[in-house]
Amino acid sequence: MSLANSTVQLPITPPPSPVPWEKEPEEISPIESFRRTPVQQAREITSRHRARSNVKGALAIATNYIVCALAICGAEAAQSLPRLYAAAAYVVSVLIIASRMRAFENLVHEASHYNLFTSPRAHEILEFLYAFPVFRLLQDYRRSHQIHHKHLGDPARDPDVIRIKEIGLDHLPDRFGWLLFGLPATGYLSYEYLTTTFAEFWTSGSSQVSKTVYWTMILAAISATHTAAYFAQYYLVPLLVILPVTRYWAEASEHAALDLTGDFGNSRSNIGLAHLWFMHPHNDGYHAVHHLDARVPFHALPTAHEQLMQENAEFKANTVVSRGFIQTFKQMRVMKMVIKDVTAVKPKSS
């Protein structure tokens, strides 16, 4: 997913089929197959896993709501326990809810590639179910995220790299403690979220009627049921306190401290259980596969990853894999980030 909070405004275009960086593998003869590059071989493997599923997309959305409801019920049931246990139950509940908010953001990411449902139009129609709850607008996110994929590693055009350089994550080993733990502890990330993503949700011209109706109905229901305190405890706290930090860690871990100049090794695969549940839900941690072929939907990423590791030597040799938070942080502490040298590509003289 994109690290940039702000969106890049570009003209709205219809769904490309396929988009430029998601080309179908070319048909080749048996003789030519021996001449394929490792990237061509890898994309031939991923092309086996591009089938979308309406059922799996709907279940992913529904599961997030169900988990949030169970977390709230559990925390409320624990209020009859001694104060320490009740407090611990509340903390666990908001951590779980924040993880599902992150999951909704990852579904926005999937929808930006038309990977949630078989119908491209369904992603816009059902945007209120998975994007509005976390103040995301699918059209705006898609426009910015397309630039990230098309210009990955370009310090002048890739929104993620621009953001990484603004924060200083391109020199992460030199300021590791401050950048990964000190900065999040200041509350700056919450302020930044409110002044960028949240503000742009309301100022953007995208989905004006639907987003206004959605949040008017939500606030009216809260007022009618006198549940503002619950809304603050179980929605605002995870949204504004926990999610900005987990989002920052998750998105920084995707490309920071890696070599972004090649076809392989430009994205970290965070695939441990803790990653897949808390920071990278819905298999978003399989980022190396995603950047190799963004048409592979979330539910097919693990299988595609395993086949690439077995069948493509370049992918296996260059993909950086982490199976836990500590391992990811250790990698980010010692590995250097390499971005593309755009000055090496000089424009042609007229």
| Per-residue pLDDT at 32 | 53
pLDDT of residue 343: 67
Instruction: Specify the pLDDT at position 232.
Output: 98
pLDDT value of position 341: 82
State the DSSP string of 272-341.
SHHIIIIISTTTTTBHHHHHH-TTS-GGGHHHHHHHHHHH-HHHHHH--EE-SHHHHHHHHHHPPPB---
CB-neighbour burial class of residue 78 (10 A; exposed 0-12, middle 13-18, buried 19+): middle
SS3 259: strand
Bridge partners of 337? Answer: none
Chain mean pLDDT for the chain? 90
Q: What was the pLDDT predicted at 1?
A: 61
Report, as ranges of residue numbers, the positions in the chain whose pLDDT lies below 50.
Answer: 6-14, 16-18, 20-21, 25, 31, 349-350
DSSP designation for 10: -
